[in-house]
Amino acid sequence: MEKKNIDWGNLSFQYTRTDYRFVAHYKDGKWDDGEIITDSDVVLSECACVFQYAQTCFEGLKAYTTEDGRIVCFRPDLNAERMRDTCIRLHMPPFPEDKFVEAVKAVVKANAAWVPPFGSGATLYIRPFLMGTNPVIGVQPATEYEFRILVTPVGPYFKGGVKPISIRVSDYDRAAPQGTGHIKAGLNYAMSLYNIMDAHACGYDENMYLDPKTRTTVEETGGANFIFITKDGKLVTPKSESILPSITRRSLMVVAEKYLNMPVEHRPVLLSELEDFAECGLCGTAAVISPVGKVNDHGKEIAFPSGMNDMGPYTKKLYETLTGIQMGRIEAPEGWIVEIC
Ligand code: PLP
Ligand code: COI
């Protein structure tokens, strides 16, 4: 199979229209089997529930080319499970989890020419999404739904690649997730758009959200969970009912403990503790692990000593082990890597 003629090394995190997408429909109380199609346009009634009441959610995962030329993806069953939980919270019918994984495999396989080659620094981002499609005018859930998966080759999420970013403590909340459980829905992100643009205008790459009730503990950023490293090499990561349960973060907790012999603490993290940490990073599918150099808390700058110019040593070990597992260089725990072709 011939790869597309793309300058893989210079891709950023942007949408490129690829050849195929997966689409399935829910009607009369059941999902059809779905199919791979070429049309990238979605045409819906002006009164579709997704437009009026934002009844939509999404997931994100990646496909990778391994050194020996296979195409694989990372823990898609956990995306299927998380999307099920989000759907339940938004009163939408989940797409069956086993079929979700099969659909991911089918759409990546169909777009194999778009999967960036090993070592290019790019990956194929996979975006499953689900929305209410029939017209509703009273506030109520739809009765018809569409589930789609698009794929697009991407480069690093933050402009500097693996260069440390700077973030600020936000005065805004990240909207809906707090107190509503772990959901990954379009509306949550729409409510964060003003704040992310304001952060950029003020010279920051991201916002650090605090728990909305006490504003004393660290939650997450707009699109990634936090990891911290203590001066004696422990991995600390915030525990909260209102942040997205990042698959990358859950995987890193295993990688730290089982591969790197690092103690792991999953617990509430106080904003006032930040200055005690040696390293800080953001983790997620898009972010992978992006080191954080500085956090600005209303004018007070907290710098992480080992990660100002480059990734700190522990963050780097976590990054290399995780990406090594994802790209087939390091043996993965059972079930983490799903082979596509
Ligand atoms: N938190 C938020 C708000 C996100 O949007 C994401 C991205 O999916 C994450 C965390 C990281 O989750 P994951 O590692 O499953 O991609
Ligand atoms: C992901 O990492 O998959 C996300 O959905 C984060 C988003 C901000 C791109």
Q: Which helix (H) or strand (E) holds 297?
A: strand 288-297
Helix (H) or strand (E) run with residue 229 in it:
strand 225-229
Give the distance (Å) from ligand 1 centre to CA of residue 138.
32
Let me know how long the chain is: 341
pLDDT of residue 1: 77
Q: Ligand 2: which residue has its CA nearest to atom 8?
A: 223
Residue with tokens 């799903």: 338
Tokens describing residue 98: 């086993």
Ligand 1 pocket test, candidate residues 244, 251, 325, 336, most atoms within 8 A of CB: 244
Residue 4 is among the residues annotated as catalytic for this protein = no
What atom of ligand 1 comes closest to residue 247's alpha carbon?
A: 15
The pLDDT, as a whole number, for residue 11 is 96
Q: Which of 105, 126, 68 is nearest to 247 (CA)?
A: 126
Measured from CB, residues less than 6 Å from any atom of ligand 1 are 60, 220, 223-225, 244, 246-249, 284-285
| Tokens found for residue 310 | 């480059």
Low-confidence ranges of the chain (pLDDT < 70): 175-181
CA distances from 285 to 231, 247, 329 (A): 26, 8, 18
Rounded distance from Cα 29 to ligand 2 centre (Å): 30
Cβ neighbours of residue 24 closer than 8 Å, sequence gap 6 or more: 31, 32, 33, 34, 35, 95, 99, 103, 146, 147, 148
Torsion of CA 197, 201, 203, 204, to 10 degrees: -10
Catalytic position from the list 105, 109, 159, 184: 184
Query: Looking at residue 179, what is its pLDDT?
Result: 46
Ligand 2 centre distance from Cα of residue 192 (Å) = 13
Q: Which residues contact 17 (CB under 8 A, 6 or more apart)?
A: 40, 152
- Taking the centre of ligand 2 as the mean of its atom positions, its distance from the CA of residue 124, in whole angstroms, is 13
Cα distance between residue 88 and residue 327, in whole Å = 33
pLDDT tens, position by position, 280-335: 999 999 999 999 999 999 999 999 987 778 899 999 999 999 999 999 999 999 99
* Domains by residue range for the chain, with CATH: 8-154 (3.30.470.10), 165-326 (3.20.10.10)
Please choose from 285, 288, 290 the residue to mutate so as to test ligand 2's pocket, defined by most ligand atoms within 8 A of CB. 285
Out of 225, 239, 242, 325, mutate this one to test ligand 1's pocket (max ligand atoms within 8 Å of CB): namely: 225
Q: Ligand 2 pocket, 60 CB below 6 A?
A: yes
Q: What is the pLDDT of residue 175?
A: 64
**Residue nearest ligand 1's atom 1 by CA:** 224
